[in-house]
Amino acid sequence: MSGQKVKLISLEGDARYTRLLGGAPETRGMKSGYVILQPGESVGAHSTGLKEEAIIILEGELQVILDGKFFMTAGKGQVLYIPPETQHDIKNAADTAARYIYVVAPVL
Amino acid sequence: MSGQKVKLISLEGDARYTRLLGGAPETRGMKSGYVILQPGESVGAHSTGLKEEAIIILEGELQVILDGKFFMTAGKGQVLYIPPETQHDIKNAADTAARYIYVVAPVL
């Protein structure tokens, strides 16, 4: 261990983005955030580079867009895995708010 | 990339444990599972070794036990971070079922 501590974070507020775990030195590399997308909003196309990502959808329905093209719909009660080096966007194309948590982690 | 694919997994059923992401080669190292603990049940004391863990609590209230001692209560709408090499147990001491998702990832 290098001083990381057990930590409990509450999902609060209605901000578009709330940081939950900020990476080192708070963790050994893992980052996490809480995202709320209103109808019509999207995160913006991005890649996590060499890291991989799990997205836990808490509420709503989201479009998963890969390389600019619609790939699939993902919703509440589903977990989405995004491999390293994968350009992706997440869009709320439904008419209610969507909420999710992402966890991004380094790979060996 | 080494062949990992975008994957969507649905939380289904009422099994105590459902594997969501099984590690390599499905991912580059990240593992994830869906756990349902009935009142009185606990996961059992364990450590994730050199890996770190995020626990996203979807429902219920849980006791976090570190090195055999009660440490804190964590519940729905909260995210718990467990550093590497941390012996911990998760117990449902409430009177309703609890559900959570864990994500375990290697550290650099």
Question: Do B10 and A78 count as a contact with CB atoms less than 8 A apart?
Answer: yes
Instruction: ipTM value, please give it.
Output: 0.95
Query: Looking at CA atoms only, how far is residue B86 from chain A in angstroms?
Result: 8
Q: pLDDT for B47-56, tens place per residue?
A: 989 999 999 9
Judge whether B62 and A8 are in contact, CB under 8 Å. no
Q: How far apart are CA A78 and CA A59, in angstroms?
A: 10
DSSP A4: -
Question: Could you list the mean pLDDT of each consecutive 10-residue stretch along chain A, which spans 108 residues?
Answer: 87 96 96 98 94 98 97 98 97 97 95
pLDDT at site B40? 98
pLDDT at site B87? 96
Query: Looking at CA atoms only, how far is residue A46 from chain B in angstroms?
Result: 14
Q: Is B59 on the interface with A (CB under 8 A)?
A: no
pLDDT at site A108? 84
Q: pLDDT for A20-45, tens place per residue?
A: 999 999 999 999 999 999 999 999 99
Query: Which of B52, B80, B85, B101 is the best substitution to test chain A (most A C-beta atoms within 10 A)?
Result: B52
pLDDT at site B2? 62
Q: Is B105 on the interface with A (CB under 8 A)?
A: yes
Number of residues that make up chain B: 108
Question: Do B81 and A52 count as a contact with CB atoms less than 8 A apart?
Answer: no
Which residues in chain B land under pLDDT 70?
1-2
pLDDT at site A48? 87
Q: Is A10 on the interface with B (CB under 8 A)?
A: yes
> How buried is B23 (Cβ within 10 angstroms: 0-12 exposed, 13-18 middle, 19+ buried)?
middle
